[in-house]
Amino acid sequence: MKVLVTGGAGFIGTNFVLRTRATRPDWQITVLDALTYAGSRENLSPVADQIEFVRGNVADADLVDRLVADADAVVHFAAESHNDNSLDDPWPFMESNIIGTYRLLEAVRRHHVRLHHISTDEVYGDLELDDPSRFTEQTPVNPSSPYSASKASADLLVRAWIRSFGIEATLSNCSNNYGPYQHVEKFIPRQITGILQGVKPKLYGAGANVRDWIHVDDHNDAVVTILEKGRLGETYLIGADGEMNNRQIVALLLELMGKPADWFDLVPDRPGHDMRYAIDSSKLRAETGWTPKYQDIRAGLTQTIEWYRANEAWWTRDKERTEQAYQRLGR
């Protein structure tokens, strides 16, 4: 199978390409990535001679048409992905996430190519802390930030192209990922790399917001499962029952990295900050048999901390610029 992976040089895409080279060696992989600040071609150097790499924009209609025409399936990870950036400058999110997805949809429609669209639980808005419910495939979209609104827009386009044009597509909405190769702007790597540099973790607001954490390998295994066993036209929620509040995550990182439990700062909150995400992934589990392998976040975080410790050169180049940007935002 010839698979076009968009955004394959970013956090989840890199892990997807490295992992599927090992688990699906018969797949021929082409990566399309614009190499924004969030993507790095070096991430793919272990498999550089086994894949094709194209630097380009998913919003470039001609390029996307050419690459899709040559593929059997597309896995669409490419997106601007950071909420804080979307609050600072929404436009790149509109172009990459909405127009980029539209260009892909038109290309898969023309060439009858299978598409799997990667999305996020953030499209469903947020839940209260004391609400026992979780998001399901029936939850109405209700996004809060320019980022999540752009992802919800893309999801709605995919659903419309399925219904109106009969394209062969599936969608998945996953909860918060952690693991190797995640950009230092994101919560967990920001705190791990800060602690490694002797800087206290920074919690937004009171640190009470809850996220539903999943290891990136479990997300990517679910994506492969949906490609191989998912029903066309369907949406699947991906989650590993990993709800924790941000204070609890920081407490675990401090313990695992040998720092006192009170060694953190509270900083001004993110505007519009979603309170809680929680995923009910029983549809995916019942239909495909997928289950997460990382049942224990302690083990997953230990592996992630070790990766950042061992790969300092990978993250130091982005760390200073990222922290300068946070300083401008007061966070």
- Kindly state the helix (H) or strand (E) to which residue 131 belongs, with its residue range: none
Smallest gap, in angstroms, from Cβ of residue 119 to ligand NAD?
Answer: 6
Per DSSP, 70 falls in state T
> Of ligand TDX, ligand NAD, none, which one sits near residue 243, judging by CB under 5 to 8 A according to partner kind?
none
Q: 183: how many CB neighbours lie within 10 A of its CB? A: 18
**Residues with Cβ within 8 Å of residue 307, at least 6 apart in sequence:** 179, 180
Based on its alpha-carbon atoms, the radius of gyration of the chain, rounded to whole angstroms, reads 19
* Residue from 33, 80, 84, 122 carrying the catalytic annotation: 122
44 in contact with ligand NAD (CB under 6 A): no
122 catalytic residue (yes or no): yes
Helices (H), the chain: 11-23, 61-69, 83-88, 91-93, 100-111, 146-165, 187-196, 216-229, 246-256, 282-288, 297-310, 312-329
d(CA 272, CA 260): 31
Q: % helix / strand / coil in the chain, to the nearest 5?
A: 45, 15, 35
35 in contact with ligand NAD (CB under 6 A): yes
* Residue from 80, 121, 155, 185 carrying the catalytic annotation: 121
d(CA 94, CA 65): 20
The two three-digit tokens of residue 44, written as one number:
């793919």
11 in contact with ligand NAD (CB under 6 A): yes
Stretch that binds ligand NAD, among 31-39, 64-72, 220-228, 306-314 (CB under 6 A): 31-39
125 in contact with ligand NAD (CB under 6 A): no
Return the residues of window 200-229 that contact ligand TDX according to CB under 6 A.
202-204, 209, 211
Place of tokens 């401090």: 254
- The binder of ligand NAD chosen from 3, 4, 5, 10 (CB under 6 A): 10
Smallest gap, in angstroms, from Cβ of residue 258 to ligand NAD?
Answer: 27
d(CA 283, CA 79): 26
- The binder of ligand TDX chosen from 16, 93, 161, 187 (CB under 6 A): 187
* Residue from 80, 102, 126, 147 carrying the catalytic annotation: 147
- The binder of ligand NAD chosen from 4, 5, 12, 249 (CB under 6 A): 12
Q: Which backbone phi and psi does 15 adopt, to 5 degrees?
A: -60, -35
Site string for ligand TDX, 121-150 (x = CB under 6 A): -x----------------------------
- The binder of ligand NAD chosen from 5, 29, 39, 223 (CB under 6 A): 39
d(CA 31, CA 17): 8
Smallest gap, in angstroms, from Cβ of residue 198 to ligand NAD?
Answer: 26
Q: Which residues contact ligand NAD by CB under 6 A?
A: 6-7, 9-13, 33-36, 38-39, 57-59, 77-81, 96, 100, 118-120, 151, 174, 176-177, 183
